[in-house]
Amino acid sequence: MELAGRSAVVTGAAGGIGRATAVALARAGARGVALADVDREGLEATAAQVKDAGAEPLVVPTDVASAAALEQLFARSEAAFGALHVLHNNAGLAGGEPAWPETPVARIEAMVAVNLTGVILGTRLALPRLRAAGGGAIVNTASIAGHTPLPPDATYAATKAGVEMFTRSCATLRESHGVRVNCVCPGVVETPMLYTTTASGRIAAWLAPVYEAVAPLAPEEIAAAVLSLVRDESQAGCCVDVPNRPRRTA
């Protein structure tokens, strides 16, 4: 799919991977990018970058766990840009501290609602609009943790495994709806989420050894993988790893 003149919706767009993808879509020629997140201040900052990159931003504060909120997001995007062509289901939460099995129940509920339910609802509610536009592309953000055990954050790993299987199960939508659904599976990425899962604002203690052993990915690296999946018409139901590289040692 060529992105020139197209419109997109990016969830979790207030920073990190979502912001990087929104800007990348703009630079690739997208006409408009709707930005969704619960962090309005972060969305406004992303909107400024999207505008500078050449696209029209639309800020829509959105809780992706709410079907009503997602319906409003897609309706506003369609009204602003005329059609919907691309959706990046990116919004997500990690468990942080305390590690599993002491993860607070409220945090577990939130992770399942945002990481998994949000992706399923987003896909379901966007499909009719993408189909009406003549087809399109959906890219979900999963994680390498979705197919590699992560004992300290078992809930996060389970939600991302769910995103992977959901993505694979949507492969047939290319034939039935003209919509290709794929996902990216990053390793550790240098995003604000790493620092917002503990009261101290530091990386969770259980994650620190991993962070010290590998070079964290830049959000722009994940955005590049997202754009590749949007553009590549041969990809449907695919889960693409974006792994970390070991840190260089002296």
> Is residue 193 included in any domain, yes or no?
yes
Rounded to an integer, the average pLDDT of 198-216 is 85
> Is residue 87 included in any domain, yes or no?
yes
Q: Annotated catalytic, 156?
A: yes
For the cut 60, the answer to whether the pLDDT of residue 223 exceeds it is yes
Angstrom CA distances, 145 to 82, 131, 155, 186, 209, stand at 37, 31, 10, 8, 16
User: What local confidence, expressed as pLDDT, does residue 198 receive?
Assistant: 74
For the cut 60, the answer to whether the pLDDT of residue 250 exceeds it is no
> Is residue 249 included in any domain, yes or no?
no
> Is residue 250 included in any domain, yes or no?
no
> Is residue 137 included in any domain, yes or no?
yes
> Is residue 2 included in any domain, yes or no?
no
> Is residue 52 included in any domain, yes or no?
yes
Catalytic residue among 156, 160, 170, 182: 156
Yes or no: say if 58 and 32 are a contact pair by the CB < 8 Å rule: yes
> Is residue 248 included in any domain, yes or no?
no
For the cut 80, the answer to whether the pLDDT of residue 34 exceeds it is yes
pTM of the entire structure? 0.96
CATH of the domain at 39: 3.40.50.720
Residues of the domain holding 48: 7-243
For the cut 80, the answer to whether the pLDDT of residue 248 exceeds it is no
- Counting the structural domains of the chain, the total is 1
- Reported as a single tens digit per residue, the pLDDT across 136-175 is 999 999 999 999 999 999 999 999 999 999 999 999 999 9
User: What local confidence, expressed as pLDDT, does residue 219 receive?
Assistant: 98
